[in-house]
Amino acid sequence: MNKLYRQTKDVEGIEVGGEWIIMHVKNRTLTKLNGAGGTIWSLLHTQKSVSELTVELSKQLNYRHIIDETDVQTVLGELLQIGIIESFFEKQVNSY
């Protein structure tokens, strides 16, 4: 099964000067994200895997930097810990 990530419900964000301000309505928290954290969070308006996020980050950086999936997973872990994204396993569709 493939693990996917997406923004948590009840979370709103706004980009200001290259940084993201994330408000978690239910938890009543504000989080400021810059750099990779903000970019990754913004990409998770739809569900994505670590591989998809890695490719998207590379595209956004015009392939100037090598993006490692381990680094993406580290950022995802931090975003999960503060509760502004969630993870789940993709359901497999059986075809007979």
* DSSP-assigned beta bridge partners for residue 85: 7
Which of 95 and 81 is assigned the larger pLDDT? 81
For 8-61, what is each residue's pLDDT tens digit?
Answer: 999 999 999 989 999 999 989 999 998 889 999 999 999 999 999 999 988 887
Which of 67 and 45 is assigned the larger pLDDT? 45
Q: What is the pLDDT of residue 63?
A: 67
- pLDDT of 67 over the 90 cut: no
- Region of 41 (left: φ > 0; alpha: ψ -120 to 50; beta: rest) is alpha
- Across the range 67-72, mean pLDDT stands at 90
